[in-house]
Amino acid sequence: MAIEKREKYLMIWLICALSLILVWFLIRLWYFRQVDRSRQQLCHLDGKTVPGENPKMLVGNMVKVYRAKNSLSAYHWFHEQFGEIVQIFWLWRQQISITNYLMIRHILVDNQKNYSKFPPNSLIQRLYGNSVLTNNGDEWKRHRFLLNEVFSKKQIVGFHHIFVNYSEQLAHKWNRYIQQCGERAELNIYPELLALFLDIVGKVSIGKDFAALEGEADEFLSNLNYIVGQSIRPVHQFTTWWKYLPFPSNHKLNKAFGAIDDVLYQLIRQRKELSEPYSSNVLDLLLQATDSLETDLQPLTDKEVRDNLLAIIVNGHETVATTVALSLYLLARYPQKLTRAQGEIDKIMTRDREKLTEAGLSKLDYLNCVVLESLRFCPPMAGLQRISIDPDVLEGWSIPAEQVVGITLKPLHYNPEYFGEQPEQFHPERYLNNEDTLSPGGIVTATKSQDQCPWKKFLTPHKEDSSRRTNTGVYFPLTFGDGARKCLGEHFAMYEMKVALAVLLYHFDFQVAPNFEAELELGKFGLFLTTFPKGGIEMIISPRIH
């Protein structure tokens, strides 16, 4: 009897084990068929398939990414190993990552109609709704047309005093800090700069002082932070239904959305009730956009105004804070360049009695180059993402419909064909001509050496494209994107970053804290692939005597 029972159990175990092996075998068959199919669809005219690391069953190349020092360096590793176009598997889904200028131009500019933005996860979609950031096609065109005016150079100058006031507030705060901690105070400047740009974007967009610089917990801001924090959780990245489950975190999420909407809709109502049109911030300008542009386009609805405001507030502070923090860090690493930047600012500030004017700012060519070089050297956006609509051919590679394409910026930015010699050096001078001025429209006559480029083995030669070059022939970095969907806030960002840098460099000297090395990591996987300095930026700040 006992033997019979044992045999029965043995049989059951055997059947289970065989079923498992069969299931494993079928999954394996299915998985590697998917891999083969996607490889065949992505082949080159000469028959080659897109290179990449062999994926592991089900997990694809994710092991590589999670084992890497950080996920940004993993992306760069793929390009170092396999070249300008590489296929990467995320579980059973795959994408290609490209870092070749001609391919990027084709996607963002020449054939941009065939590539739409990669759809965000459902929480981010709820946050930004139907905004310029999330729309495609005609709806996007309408939003972009109305918003372009709001973010025109003319309007941005109107915010000059806000940029200066908040930057000076930060300088006062640091002076108080130095008084407490002594002349050579060590400080993590990254959270400070995040607070500065949050306060600026709050004031500029909705006229609200978030008081982030003073360390106060504004309710609107904490609700927004909560939503953004939740949106990067894998459960929200990979599912659309999680948010409906009756968990306390989801309840809090709904409350946060409700509170934010209450504030914004109330502001919209209040501004609409004003008898005289009055423009002091982005909200006002958006409400009046169709009238001031005298267009037949449908005005933005209250919901669309709310959506665009949130897109601007959320995207309008982190990238700028990262760029300014890194610019200060890089200047401190290259003291001669720090001295040169400070010399230029001192001249303007002394002439204008220590008040940074709009005219003074426009004279700061070297500072402009510092920001451009920082955007090239350490792009605060690791890359962009698109998805193809119809099949296409990309520099000889066949691209099927619905192919996810990632654009990785750093290897491109280290290509001397586009960005000049010694790309691994922080060298703002690369954008300046002999008269120390900077303007677009240069033509390069000689081909520069590629020997120094860390990614030299796979570089292709460039075609002339003078409109995207500075007058020294060096390209503008692609950190703001290119083509129709180029960053809406580019001029705004450049303006506020230069103001903040000018004020801080005028008042302080910067040194890198002992043993500190900045490291960029990939940030949230929302709509953009933003990067942030892991652990912040530790500096020693000391007051300058004028």
Q: What are the residues binding ligand HEM (CB under 6 A)?
A: 117, 132-133, 144, 311-312, 315-316, 319-320, 323, 380-381, 384, 479-481, 485, 487-489, 492-493, 528
How far is C-alpha 237 from the geometric centre of its chain's CA atoms? 18
Asked if residue 50 lies in contact with residue 42, where contact means CB atoms within 8 angstroms, the answer is yes
Asked if residue 443 lies in contact with residue 423, where contact means CB atoms within 8 angstroms, the answer is no
Structure tokens at 227: 């939503």
Minimum CB distance to ligand HEM, residue 477 (Å): 9
Dihedral over Cα of 283, 288, 292, 294: its sign = positive
Minimum CB distance to ligand HEM, residue 386 (Å): 7
What's the rounded Cα separation, in Å, for the pair 104 and 406?
10
Q: For residues 256 and 313, which CB has a smaller minimum distance to ligand HEM in the complex?
A: 313
CA–CA distances in Å: residue 316 to residues 111, 323, 417: 28, 12, 31
Minimum CB distance to ligand HEM, residue 488 (Å): 4
Q: For residues 320 and 512, which CB has a smaller minimum distance to ligand HEM in the complex?
A: 320
Minimum CB distance to ligand HEM, residue 380 (Å): 5
Dihedral over Cα of 252, 257, 260, 263: its sign = negative
Q: For residues 319 and 471, which CB has a smaller minimum distance to ligand HEM in the complex?
A: 319
Q: What angle do CA 253, 258, 260 make, to 5 degrees?
A: 95
347-375 in b/e form (b: 16+ CB < 10 A) is ebbeeeeeebeeebbebbbbbbbbbbbbb
Which one-letter amino acid corresponds to residue 414?
Answer: Y
Beta strand pairing call for 529-533 and 392-394: unpaired
What's the rounded Cα separation, in Å, for the pair 231 and 58?
25
Q: For residues 438 and 540, which CB has a smaller minimum distance to ligand HEM in the complex?
A: 438
Q: For residues 60 and 428, which CB has a smaller minimum distance to ligand HEM in the complex?
A: 428
Q: What is the CA radius of gyration of the chain?
A: 26
Q: For residues 418 and 528, which CB has a smaller minimum distance to ligand HEM in the complex?
A: 528
Q: For residues 366 and 480, which CB has a smaller minimum distance to ligand HEM in the complex?
A: 480
Strand, helix or coil at 531?
strand
Minimum CB distance to ligand HEM, residue 250 (Å): 28
Q: For residues 444 and 478, which CB has a smaller minimum distance to ligand HEM in the complex?
A: 478
Minimum CB distance to ligand HEM, residue 449 (Å): 28
What's the rounded Cα separation, in Å, for the pair 174 and 191?
13
Minimum CB distance to ligand HEM, residue 385 (Å): 7
Minimum CB distance to ligand HEM, residue 527 (Å): 7
Minimum CB distance to ligand HEM, residue 353 (Å): 29
What is the phi-psi region of residue 420: left when phi exceeds 0, alpha when psi lies from -120 to 50, beta otherwise?
left
DSSP per residue over 357-399, as a string? -HHHHHT-HHHHHHHHHHHHHS-SEEEEEEEESS-EEETTEEE
Q: For residues 230 and 281, which CB has a smaller minimum distance to ligand HEM in the complex?
A: 281
Beta strand pairing call for 185-188 and 538-543: antiparallel
Minimum CB distance to ligand HEM, residue 275 (Å): 29
How far is C-alpha 19 from the geometric centre of its chain's CA atoms? 47
Asked if residue 395 lies in contact with residue 102, where contact means CB atoms within 8 angstroms, the answer is yes
Minimum CB distance to ligand HEM, residue 34 (Å): 27
Q: For residues 198 and 256, which CB has a smaller minimum distance to ligand HEM in the complex?
A: 198
What's the rounded Cα separation, in Å, for the pair 286 and 291?
10
Question: End-to-end CA distance of the chain, in Å?
Answer: 100
Q: Which residue is nearest to ligand HEM (CB)?
A: 489
List the beta bridge partners of residue 59. none
Q: For residues 380 and 533, which CB has a smaller minimum distance to ligand HEM in the complex?
A: 380
